[in-house]
């Protein structure tokens, strides 16, 4: 009997602990989950680390999987915050409203230039959007057509749950399909790594993944000047394929989530962005 | 179980009254039997439940009008007017042609078996017929250890090391291709083919060998004309098991094929398999969408094709066994 009471007490104790842990912050959850964009996963992790250092007792879990995965998780209610490298579609916003009973709320958190990666040994320096479109739609299959050596182009890209895939399809391919020969890799770092090992490869992805590859200058059309992806050209919009990175929540963020999002937007949070390799939001932007 | 029944009365004989001696083992036996039966039924039940669930989720591809707006059974197989045989589900006009995926699976599996069958079977032959006890004790566990290497590790090795090596040696167009994936897959398949074939060789009665030797055969004649034919059903079974492993493997092909759904016969270009497609896309689809149901249809088709191969092979193996005698 004694033993049984002891066990019961123990269980009650655990339950109480679990209870009190949730209650510590008082104004919200002490456990926040963030899920989504692979482009943003290192950014999210760095934010979480820094924020947890400042706020002991908070736990922020960051996982990737792709913007589509994050959005699906937000719809299904399995994440608090969704990181996305593309704006949510109306259809997805409707689904959040339907399943979560609150509108999807968008917060712009950082700026990214979609870089066109080539191998460090490639002679190419610049490329125009129309040429890029031809290459990724299998209308141009040889580097000659882009001003390079006489050799077949090897295409690398992202899985179709990637926000970068969606962005590239919409802004570079005009919504048309990728060439079937595009090798789809899981994660931007995998794309950069593949291009690093392939002299005739080309890939695309976030600006923070330039390890071992070179980013081409990009021309809006054949007549336009070639612009390198930098902080300035992304902030003033002259680099033709720069984009915002987003946080999405179901309903406006509240409690601990709100404090985290506000910190991300603050000077301290925006400083982290530069360390990771992306660009902070322009000052005038809300 | 037999051990349990035998030892309990033996040890307790002296200290227990006689009626317990008889009853207790029976109760134990009954409990053990029911438990084992339940476990066996549970595993069959779970397979049936999985089958039912996959079938249920795949069915809308045949029946649902909502799904038919995006995809019909015909468009799963027939070429698109402009795009041809294309798998591109996330698109303004989604394209769900599954032929490139099945072709990819076949190509990779073909290469894997091409490499793994000769390696696995001849290693088994060596170990069971030629190797001395010492060598056998090293080789056998070493190959079986290969089965314990996580497939993600094999895939990673293929992605980082093997692919560069293959491209340097063969000058393949794409770094990640059917050959790289097939060879990596072979590493996972060899242990299965090896251990099942080795069992088959070992099961050939020693009297067969003695009789052939007594009739004046050389060692290689004994091996090729007696042992191999006698073990043929077992070897065939090992190949079927290897095929099943190769066709269902996911992690290795996700990492090593390059995942481009190209519809052509080339082995030196990237490819995309059915399993890799399901693994990479199911995580993000909206539940209930056409894409979601097509992925389940892919799973169901893959299951049906392995089932057909397995059943067909079983019949062939059975026929061989009857005709040849011996074997396993």
pLDDT digits (tens, 9 = 90+) for A111-165: 999 999 999 999 999 999 999 999 999 999 999 998 889 999 999 999 887 888 9
Give the span between the Cα atoms of B34 and A149, in whole angstroms: 72
- State whether B269 and A181 contact (CB < 8 Å): yes
A184–B259 C-beta distance less than 8 A: yes
**Dist CA B158 CA B165 (whole Å):** 9
How many angstroms separate the CA atoms of A119 and A196, rounded?
5
User: What is the DSSP code string of B85-139?
Assistant: S-EE-SSSS-EE--HHHHHHHHHHHHHHHHHHHHHHHHHHHIIIII--HHHHHHH
Distance from CA of B186 to the nearest CA of A (A): 22
The total number of structural domains in chain A stands at 2
Residue B295 CB-half CA count within 13 A:
21
The answer to whether residue A240 sits within a structural domain is no
- Highest mean pLDDT among A139-148, A178-187, B117-126 belongs to B117-126
Is there a contact between A177 and B260 if contact means CB atoms under 8 Å apart? no
Q: Which residue of A76, A95, A161 is in closest CB contact with B281?
A: A161
Average pLDDT over residues B58-86: 88
Residue A169 maps to which CATH number? 3.40.190.10
- pLDDT on residue A15: 46
- All residues of chain A having their beta carbon less than 8 Å from the beta carbon of residue B164 are 197
What is the domain extent for residue A121? 115-228
Q: Are A119 and A201 within 8 A, CB to CB?
A: yes
pLDDT band (50, 70, 90) for residue B317: confident
- Is residue A23 in some structural domain? yes
**Which pLDDT value is given to residue A244?**
92
pLDDT at residue A285, rounded to an integer: 46
A45-83 pLDDT tens trace = 999 999 999 988 889 999 988 888 899 889 888 899 999
Instruction: Output the pLDDT for position A21.
Output: 40
CB atoms within 10 A of CB A13: 10
- At residue A4, the pLDDT reads 53
Overall size of chain B counted in residues: 328
* Lowest model confidence (mean pLDDT) among A258-267, B225-234, B283-292: B283-292
pLDDT(B167) > 70: yes
A143 in reach of chain B (CB within 8 A): no
Residues A42 and A99 in one domain: yes
Q: Which residue in B202, B65, B211 sits closest to B129, CA to CA? A: B202
CA–CA separation, B99 and B265 (whole Å) = 12
Contact check, Cβ <8 Å, B260/A197: no
Report the residue from B89, B164, B269 with minimal CB separation from A160.
B89
Q: Which of residues 77-106 of B touch A (CB under 8 A)?
A: 83, 86-92, 95, 100
For residue A72, which residues of chain B lie inside 8 Å, CB to CB? 283-286
* DSSP code for A213: E
Give a yes or no: residue A150 inside a domain: yes
Residue A286 pLDDT exceeds 70: no
Contact B259 A159 (CB under 8 A): yes
Interface predicted TM-score (ipTM) of this complex, two decimals: 0.71
Each residue of A195-217: pLDDT tens digit?
Answer: 998 899 999 998 888 888 999 99
CB of B164 less than 8 A from some CB of A: yes
Q: Does one domain contain both A74 and A87?
A: yes
Question: Are A92 and A190 found together in one domain?
Answer: no
Interchain CB distance below 8 Å, A181 and B254: no
Phi, psi dihedral angles at B96 (to 5 degrees): -120, 60
Give A2's pLDDT tier (boundaries 50, 70, 90): low
| Rounded-to-10 torsion of CA B276, B282, B284, B287 | 170
A163 interfaces chain B, CB cutoff of 8 Å: no
A171 and A210 part of one domain: yes
Least-confidence region, from B1-15, B23-37, B107-121, B259-273: B1-15
Q: Give residue A27's pLDDT.
A: 54
Look at B260 and A160 and tell me if their CB atoms are within 8 Å: no
Q: What local confidence, expressed as pLDDT, does residue A284 receive?
A: 52
Contact call for residues A159 and A167 (beta carbons, < 8 A): no
Lowest mean pLDDT among A114-118, A185-189, B4-8: B4-8
* pLDDT confidence of residue A28: 65
Interface of A with B in 29-88 (CB under 8 A): 65-66, 68-69, 72, 75-76
Residue A282 lies in a domain: no
Length of chain A: 286
- pLDDT number for residue B19: 53
Nearest CA of chain B to the CA of A286: how many Å? 31
Q: How far is B261 from chain A (nearest CA, A)?
A: 6
- In terms of Cβ atoms closer than 10 Å to its own Cβ (0-12, 13-18, 19+), residue B318 is exposed
What are the structure tokens assigned to A183, written together? 């090798």
- Are A180 and B254 inside 8 Å of each other by CB? no
Model confidence at A16, in pLDDT bands (50, 70, 90)? Answer: very low
Out of A152, A159, A197, the one facing B173 most closely (by C-beta) is A152
Mean pLDDT in chain A?
85
Residues of A in contact with B83 (CB under 8 A): 177
Instruction: Specify which residues A59 forms β-bridges with.
Output: A31
Closest A-chain CA to B171: A198
The verdict on A121 and A86 lying in the same domain is no
What band does B20 get if pLDDT is binned at 50, 70 and 90?
low
Query: Does residue A91 sit in the same domain as residue A121?
Result: no
Interface of B with A in 190-249 (CB under 8 A): none
Residue B80's pLDDT is what?
Answer: 87
For the domain spanning B77-324, the CATH number is 1.10.3720.10
What pLDDT does B183 receive?
95
Q: In this complex, how many residue pairs, one in chain A and one in chain B, have their CB atoms less than 8 Å apart?
A: 78
**Residue B12: its pLDDT value, please?**
45
What is the structure's pLDDT at A132? 93
Mean pLDDT of B229-247: 92
- pLDDT bin (cut points 50, 70, 90) of residue B25 is low
Q: Are A39 and A18 contained in the same domain?
A: yes
- To test the contact with chain B by mutation, choose from A183, A186, A187, A201 the residue with the greatest count of B C-beta atoms within 10 A, namely A183
pLDDT given for residue A261 in this prediction? 93
> Are both A143 and A87 inside the same structural domain?
no
- Residue with the bigger pLDDT between B37 and B25: it is B37
CA distance A164 to A37: 9
Residue A201 distance to chain B (closest CA, Å): 9
Contact state of A160 with B175 under an 8 Å Cβ cutoff = no
Whether A236 is covered by a domain: the verdict is no
A14: confidence class by pLDDT, cuts 50, 70, 90: very low
Residue A52 sits in the same domain as residue A143? no
DSSP string, B250-272: -HHHHHHSB-----SS-SSS-B-
pLDDT, tens only, A22-49: 433 445 678 899 999 888 988 999 999 9
Residue whose C-alpha is closest to residue B25's, from B48, B2, B41: B2
Query: Rounded CA gap, A283 and B122, in Å?
Result: 70
Residues in chain B with CB shorter than 8 Å from the CB of A69 are 283-284
Q: How far is CA A146 from CA A124, B37, B328, in A?
A: 8, 68, 62
* Per-residue CA distances from B223 to B133, B202, B321 (Å): 18, 12, 18
Residue B326 CA, distance from chain mean position: 25
**Is A149 domain-assigned?**
yes
CA-based nearest distance B219→chain A, Å = 50
Which positions ≥6 away from A44 have C-beta within 8 Å? A34, A62, A83
* pTM of full prediction above 0.90: no
Q: Would strands A115-119 and A213-215 be described as parallel, antiparallel, or unpaired?
A: antiparallel
Taking contacts as CB-CB distances below 8 angstroms, the residues of chain B near A165 are: 90
How far B258 CA lies from chain A's nearest CA (Å)?
5
Q: What is the pLDDT of residue A161?
A: 79
pLDDT of A276 strictly over 70: yes
A138 shares its domain with A74: no
Phi, psi dihedral angles at A51 (to 5 degrees): -70, -40
Contacts with B176 from chain A: Cβ below 8 Å? 183, 194
| Radius of gyration of chain A, Cα coordinates, nearest whole angstrom | 22
Q: What share of chain A is helix, strand, coil (3-state, %, to 5)?
A: 40, 25, 35
Give A-chain residues touching B173 at CB under 8 angstroms: 152, 154
Find chain A residues with C-beta within 8 A of B272's C-beta.
184
Residue A19 has pLDDT above 80, yes or no: no
- List chain B residues with CB under 8 Å of A192: none
Cα A215 to Cα A60: distance, rounded to the nearest angstrom: 32
């Amino acid at each position: 009997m004694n033993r049984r009471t002891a066990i019961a007490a123990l269980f009650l104790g655990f339950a109480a602990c679990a209870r009190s842990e949730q209650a510590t912050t008082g104004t919200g959850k002490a456990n926040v989950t963030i899920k989504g964009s692979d482009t943003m996963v290192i950014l999210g992790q760095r934010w979480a680390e820094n924020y947890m250092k400042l706020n002991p007792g908070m736990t922020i879990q960051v996982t990737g999987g792709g913007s589509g995965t994050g959005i699906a998780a937000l719809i299904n209610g399995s994440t608090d915050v969704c990181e996305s490298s593309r704006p949510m579609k109306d259809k997805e916003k409707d689904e959040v409203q339907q399943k979560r009973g609150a509108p999807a709320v968008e917060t712009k958190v950082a700026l990214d230039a979609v870089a066109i990666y080539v191998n460090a040994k490639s002679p190419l320096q610049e490329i125009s959007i129309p040429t890029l479109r031809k290459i990724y739609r299998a209308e141009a299959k040889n580097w000659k057509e882009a001003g390079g050596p006489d050799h077949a182009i090897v295409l690398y890209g992202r899985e179709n749950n990637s926000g970068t895939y969606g962005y590239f399809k919409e802004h570079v391919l005009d919504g048309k399909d990728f060439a079937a020969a595009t090798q789809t890799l899981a994660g931007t770092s995998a794309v950069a790594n593949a291009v690093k090992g392939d002299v005739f490869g080309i890939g695309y992805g976030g600006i923070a993944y330039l390890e071992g590859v070179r980013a081409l200058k990009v021309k809006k059309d054949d007549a336009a000047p070639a612009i390198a992806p930098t902080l300035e050209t992304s902030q003033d919009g002259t680099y033709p394929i720069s984009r915002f990175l987003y946080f999405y929540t179901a309903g406006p963020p509240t409690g601990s989530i709100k404090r985290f999002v506000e910190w991300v937007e603050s000077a301290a949070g925006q400083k982290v962005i530069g360390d990771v390799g992306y660009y902070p939001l322009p000052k005038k932007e809300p | 179980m037999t051990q349990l029944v035998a030892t309990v009365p033996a040890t307790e004989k002296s200290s227990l009254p006689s009626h317990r001696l008889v009853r207790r083992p029976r109760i134990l036996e009954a409990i053990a039997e029911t438990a084992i039966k339940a476990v066996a039924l549970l595993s069959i039940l779970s397979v049936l439940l999985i089958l039912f669930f996959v079938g249920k989720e795949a069915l809308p591809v045949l029946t649902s009008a909502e799904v038919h707006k995006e995809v019909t059974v015909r468009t799963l197989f027939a070429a698109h007017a402009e795009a041809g045989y294309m798998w591109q589900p996330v698109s303004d006009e989604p394209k769900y042609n599954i032929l490139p995926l099945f072709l990819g699976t076949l190509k990779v599996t073909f290469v894997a078996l091409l490499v793994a069958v000769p390696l696995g079977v001849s290693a088994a032959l060596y170990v069971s017929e030629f190797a001395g006890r010492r060598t056998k004790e090293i080789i056998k566990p070493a190959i079986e250890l290969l089965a314990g290497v996580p497939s993600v590790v094999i895939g990673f090795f293929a992605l980082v090391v093997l692919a560069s090596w293959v491209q340097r040696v063969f000058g393949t167009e794409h770094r990640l291709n059917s050959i790289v994936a097939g060879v990596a897959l072979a590493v996972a398949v060899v242990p299965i083919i090896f251990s099942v074939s080795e069992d088959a060789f070992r099961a050939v009665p020693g009297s067969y060998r003695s009789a052939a030797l007594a009739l004046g055969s050389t060692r290689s004649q004994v091996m090729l004309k007696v042992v191999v034919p006698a073990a043929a059903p077992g070897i065939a079974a090992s190949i079927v098991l290897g095929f099943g492993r190769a066709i269902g493997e996911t992690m290795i092909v996700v990492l090593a094929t390059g995942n481009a759904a190209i519809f052509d016969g080339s082995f030196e270009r990237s490819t995309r398999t059915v399993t890799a497609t399901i693994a990479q896309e199911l995580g993000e689809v909206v539940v209930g969408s056409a894409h979601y149901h097509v992925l389940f249809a892919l799973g169901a088709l893959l299951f049906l094709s392995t089932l057909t191969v397995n059943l067909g092979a079983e019949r062939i193996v059975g026929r061989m066994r009857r005709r040849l005698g011996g074997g396993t």
